[in-house]
A and B are shown apart, each in its own frame.
Chain A
Amino acid sequence: MKYWEDFKVGEAIELGSCAITEAEILAFARKYDPQPFHTDPEAARRSIFGGLIASGWHTCALLMRLSVDAARRDGAAGTGSPGLDACRWLKPVRPGDVLTGRTAVLETWPSRSKPIGFIRRRNEMVNQHGEVVVSVVGITMYERRPGAAA
């Protein structure tokens, strides 16, 4: 098990990689973000993006999936998130891109009222060209090591 006490400021965590296909981009966008540059390859070619791009909310969903899978591998005792400070979609994500996730631990502090602790982290996804496509700074909560909470 990885508890709140086990996260150290400055720690870098590799989250693994995933590929994104045109079919996935279209399926997500048709359900949740049906703007032409996400749902229609032809219209996307004529848009300022010059081709189909993934919804930013789809990119974030993939980052979440990598985070959940990594937490499971680490046995991290996560209990959700109260929110995010900032999210920036920095570069378009296109069909065939391979995205690699990484986390940097920025800050840690314990809850005063519950046996949990908070971690402020920066999660990023980098494409196969080494470009950061999305950066999310947010807070996640973890259980404290049994017996450690005051």
Chain B
Amino acid sequence: MKYFEDVQVGDVMRFGRYEVTRDEIVEYARQFDPQPFHLDEEAARASMFGGLIASGWHTGAMFIRMVVEHMTPIHATSGAMGFDDLKWIRPVRPGDVLSVESEIREKIESRSRPDRGTVKIESRVSNQRGEVVMSLVSLVIYLRR
């Protein structure tokens, strides 16, 4: 297990493989983001995106799935306070395969809770062509040894 003391600024982790399907894009959009370019191939082709694209929040959800599968089991984290500076850089389309590169940016000790600290982690989600589709800086709560 990696605790607050064990992660170092500059550490880089690469993980995840998430295949994005048309059905999942539409299913997420129906529930949470029913805009035409997330729901309907025909309407999406006529939009500025030129075809069906995933909701940006869906990309966020696929990102957290990869984090929970690959990082959470070996890092002593206890959720997150939120994130800063999220950018939706490129559309995510059916058939894309996403992966994550995360880098430790900053460690902040808690003054009020000596058993934990906050770690700022910058993550980039890329597609199968190596293009970054989304980036963000997560504020993750780590337990101390």
**Footprint of B on A, CB under 8 Å?**
28, 31-35, 37, 48, 55-57, 60-62, 64-65, 68, 78-89, 138
Task: Considering the complex, give the chain B residue whose CB is closest to the CB of A24.
Answer: B31
Cβ-defined contact, A61 with B82, below 8 A: no
Q: Is the interface of A mostly helix, strand, loop or mixed?
A: mixed
B57 at the interface (CB under 8 A from A): yes
Compute how far the CA of A102 lies from the CA of B26 in the bound complex, rounded to whole angstroms.
Answer: 26
Kindly identify which residue among B65, B83, B85 contacts A33, using a CB–CB cutoff of 8 Å.
B65
Compute how far the CA of A86 lies from the CA of B137 in the bound complex, rounded to whole angstroms.
Answer: 9
Cβ-defined contact, A83 with B65, below 8 A: no
Q: List 20 A-B contacts (CB under 8 A).
A: A28-B61, A32-B62, A33-B64, A33-B65, A34-B65, A56-B80, A56-B82, A60-B60, A61-B33, A61-B57, A61-B61, A65-B32, A68-B35, A80-B56, A81-B56, A81-B88, A84-B85, A86-B85, A87-B84, A138-B86
**Footprint of A on B, CB under 8 Å?**
28, 31-35, 37, 48, 55-57, 60-62, 64-65, 68-69, 72, 78-88
Cβ-defined contact, B87 with A64, below 8 A: no
Residues of chain B contacted by A86 (CB below 8 angstroms): 82-85
